[in-house]
Amino acid sequence: MQPNACVIRKVKEDMAKPSAESGANGEFPQRRNDLPPEIIEIIWPALQVGGLSGTCFASLDAVE
C-alpha cells in the first residue's frame, strides 16, 4: 500500500512540530532512568570493557 499525499503531508507537519517530550527551546528530552549520574559513570566503563572483552573472546573462539 502506497502512502497518499495526505499522509505524507501529515507526517511532514508532525515532524515540524516541537515534541512535547523535548524542551520548549528544542533541547533533547531528559533521560528517564532512575540511576544517578555517579552510578552511570561507574557502570558504563565496566560495560564497555566487558563488551569489548566478550567480543574479542567470541572472535578468537570462532577462529579456532
Write down the pLDDT at residue 43.
Answer: 92
CA pseudo-torsion sign 32, 38, 44, 47 = negative
Task: Please give the mean pLDDT across all residues of the chain.
Answer: 77
Write down the pLDDT at residue 60.
Answer: 81
Write down the pLDDT at residue 53.
Answer: 92
* 38: phi then psi, degrees, rounded to nearest 5: -65, -40
Residue 57, domain extent: 5-63
Write down the pLDDT at residue 20.
Answer: 54
**Cβ 22 vs Cβ 28: under 8 Å:** yes
pLDDT reading at 21 higher than 80: no
Domains of the chain: total:
1
- pTM here is 0.41
* 20: phi then psi, degrees, rounded to nearest 5: -70, -25
Distance, CA of 21 to CA of 43 (rounded, Å):
27
Give 55-63's long-range contacts (Cβ < 8 A, gap of 24+): none
Of residues 9 and 43, the one with the higher pLDDT is 43
pLDDT reading at 47 higher than 90: yes
